[in-house]
Amino acid sequence: MTELHLVRHGPTHAKSMVGWSDLPADLSDTDALSRLSNHLPEDGLVISSDLQRCVATADAIQGSRTRLPHDPKLREIHFGDWELKNFKEIEAEDAALARAYWENPGDVRPPNGESWNEVCARVNPAIDHLIDTHRGGKLIVVVHFGVILTQVQRAELLTAEEAFAHRIDNLSVTSFKIADTGWATQQINQLL
């Protein structure tokens, strides 16, 4: 049985679409970080996306745990031309596309960005590789909102629309147990 603990990075406080932009995380809530670190398995392996908000969050909760190299395949959704724009700005450019992207996630993509299906096609093999390489282990993966939702969708056998209905807060934990027979969700969006 492999344990997969997905941790969402600390907040950026941006009021816009933040995908591949490398914004820092606010890690000033040291009590929350301490509670999070204490909750996670002490013998877990820590890995993160290569974006600084995840790297710094992983640094903050690592403790004496072994660290694996950052993985760019675990980045957030690539919002392309929508990057760092707020919803009003995006809607002003192309309201129909903006609505289609969020209401019917799948093959719809932002200009020069990724569709939901493309995000899943990038993230799922990266997670599978971690699980296969560390079978029976405990993985602590510090990532992004969209990355966590890809795994919620897989584990719960949801549509993309159903996955997007989940709230994933900063510094929350979403955990799964993975066996040869399938995935079992332990918790989604647990705040400590």
pLDDT above 90 (res 102):
no
What is the pLDDT at residue 59? 98
Q: 18-43 pLDDT, tens per residue?
A: 999 999 999 999 999 999 999 999 99
Q: 132-157 pLDDT, tens per residue?
A: 999 999 999 999 999 999 999 999 99
Tell me the pLDDT band of 104, cut-offs 50, 70 and 90: confident
pLDDT above 90 (res 93):
yes
Domains of the chain: 2-79+115-190 (3.40.50.1240)
Owner of token pair 């031309």? 81
- Torsion (CA) 59, 52, 41, 45 in degrees, nearest 10: -90
Q: Is the separation of the CB atoms in 56 and 27 below 8 Å? A: yes
Radius of gyration of the chain, Cα coordinates, nearest whole angstrom = 16
Residue 133's contacts (CB-CB under 8 Å, 6 or more residues apart) are none
pLDDT above 90 (res 103):
no
Strand order in the sheet with 2-8: 66-67, 45-48, 138-143, 2-8, 173-179, 182-190
> What's the rounded mean pLDDT across residues 71-100?
96
> What's the rounded mean pLDDT across residues 174-190?
96
pTM: 0.96
Tell me the pLDDT band of 171, cut-offs 50, 70 and 90: very high
Q: 43-67 pLDDT, tens per residue?
A: 999 999 999 999 999 999 999 999 9
Enter the DSSP assignment of 81.
G
What is the pLDDT at residue 142? 98
Transcribe 22-71 into DSSP letters: -PPP----HHHHHHHHHHS-TT-EEEE-SSHHHHHHHHHHHTTSEEPPP-
**E strand or H helix that includes residue 121:** helix 116-133
